[in-house]
Amino acid sequence: MGRDKALLDWNSHTLVEDVAEKVRSVAGNVGLVGPVERYGALELQCLPDIRPGMGPLAGIETAIESGRGELNLIVACDLPGLETAWLHGLLRRAEETETSCVVLRDGRGDVQPLCGVYRRECLPSIRRALDEDRLRMLDVVAELKASFFDIERPLENLNTPEDVLAWQRAGDGG
């Protein structure tokens, strides 16, 4: 991307603020995993990454380790098309089942491990994967025997400047 995608301008604020507001509206609170010196001006509670540089799995470890709840709604900051109805559905599914995690599966059949609900009980498995340098999210989700919340549409994330331009041209943000 060439820059911090969380801080991209999006609908008169930043992309991460847009996602955080959706999470807050569903979960009641939000914590951003990342350094205070980078994100402190956003007025979001920052949770310093326990294992900086170890990727998204370490971010999930940090979020669960923070002790904010039994159910942890984990959402990546680069999902501009995220709908609050999907987040409600994820939480509802997690509350209705005893599965350790529920992740979104989009209309293409793609599993989205960074849009899911992880129970506190996932923490030992996540720590073990990190300790063993097994960082592939889809592998960890499979080990956790995740259940899925299916949506009809594809869920896009922004990984390149071209992705951002496409979303801006579609009138969905920016």
Phi, psi of 150 (to 5 degrees): -90, 140
Question: What pLDDT score does 22 carry?
Answer: 93
Alpha-carbon gap, residue 153 to 132, rounded angstroms: 35
Task: Give the global pTM.
Answer: 0.88
Q: Which helix (H) or strand (E) holds 32?
A: strand 31-33
Question: What pLDDT score does 164 carry?
Answer: 64
Question: What pLDDT score does 174 carry?
Answer: 44
Q: So what's the architecture of 5-169 in CATH? A: Alpha-Beta Complex (3.90)
Question: What pLDDT score does 15 carry?
Answer: 75
Q: Which helix (H) or strand (E) holds 130?
A: helix 123-131
Structure-token pair, residue 61:
């470890």
Strand partners, 65: none
What does the radius of gyration of the chain's CA atoms come to, in whole angstroms?
Answer: 15
What parts of the chain have a pLDDT lower than 50?
173-174
**What does the domain layout of the chain look like in residue ranges?**
5-169
